[in-house]
Amino acid sequence: MSDFAASWELSRQRFVTEIAGLNQAQLNWKLHPGALSIGQMAIHTAGVEVSFSSQLISSGLTPLQARIKASATEGVVNDLPFPFSDEEITESSVAEILSLAKEMVEPIIKAPTEDALSREIKSALGPVITGYGALARLGFHAAYHQGQAYLLKTSPGFPA
């Protein structure tokens, strides 16, 4: 197993544990109108995984995978609407989307090829990065959002 996979598995599992059991109202609650909800964070996290994975192995995407990939940027780092409505963001849909993304990224992050590591791809924030940089980013990305999810869950007004 690669060093990338060790940090990715740890940070991702902590994020999944942090959001486990949240209901639809909790997944869609926002601290303020411009913030992401926990459900949007989860789908965005999966979106970055799908984006990086599909670029690293040059794979086509199903319509659902393309929507998930779009959540890496749309409504997050630009002014476009988030690709999934609040009605679509449920405990089961978030779990399904995270599982789908995990299936895509896991083989690549556990045993990256030299081709994947040296490949240049577009990051979610815009700059061109190498596969090495992409896998390094995936190692902490979920943990970043785990901290945000914890803050939202402990904020005044978070649904019980």
Question: Which of 41-45, 121-125, 129-133 has the least mean pLDDT?
Answer: 121-125
**How far from chain centre, in Å, is Cα 44?**
4
Summarised one tens digit per residue, pLDDT across range 67-85 is 999 999 999 999 999 999 9
Pull the structure tokens for residue 142: 């979920």
Domain annotation for the chain: domains and CATH numbers: 3-153 (1.20.120.450)
pTM for the structure as a whole: 0.96
Q: Give the burial string for 22-36 (b: 16+ CB within 10 Å, else e).
A: bebebbbbeeeeeeb
Summarised one tens digit per residue, pLDDT across range 33-48 is 999 999 999 999 999 9
> What is the average per-residue pLDDT within 151-157?
97
Q: Are 104 and 38 in contact (CB under 8 A)?
A: no
| Confidence band, pLDDT 50/70/90 cuts, at residue 2 | confident
| Confidence band, pLDDT 50/70/90 cuts, at residue 14 | very high
Q: In whole angstroms, give the CA distance from residue 55 to residue 60.
A: 9
Q: What pLDDT does residue 60 have?
A: 93
Q: What pLDDT does residue 59 have?
A: 86
Pull the structure tokens for residue 9: 């598995």
Q: What pLDDT does residue 151 have?
A: 97
Q: In whole angstroms, give the CA distance from residue 129 to residue 118.
A: 9
Question: Which parts of the chain are beta strand (E)?
Answer: 120-122, 128-130
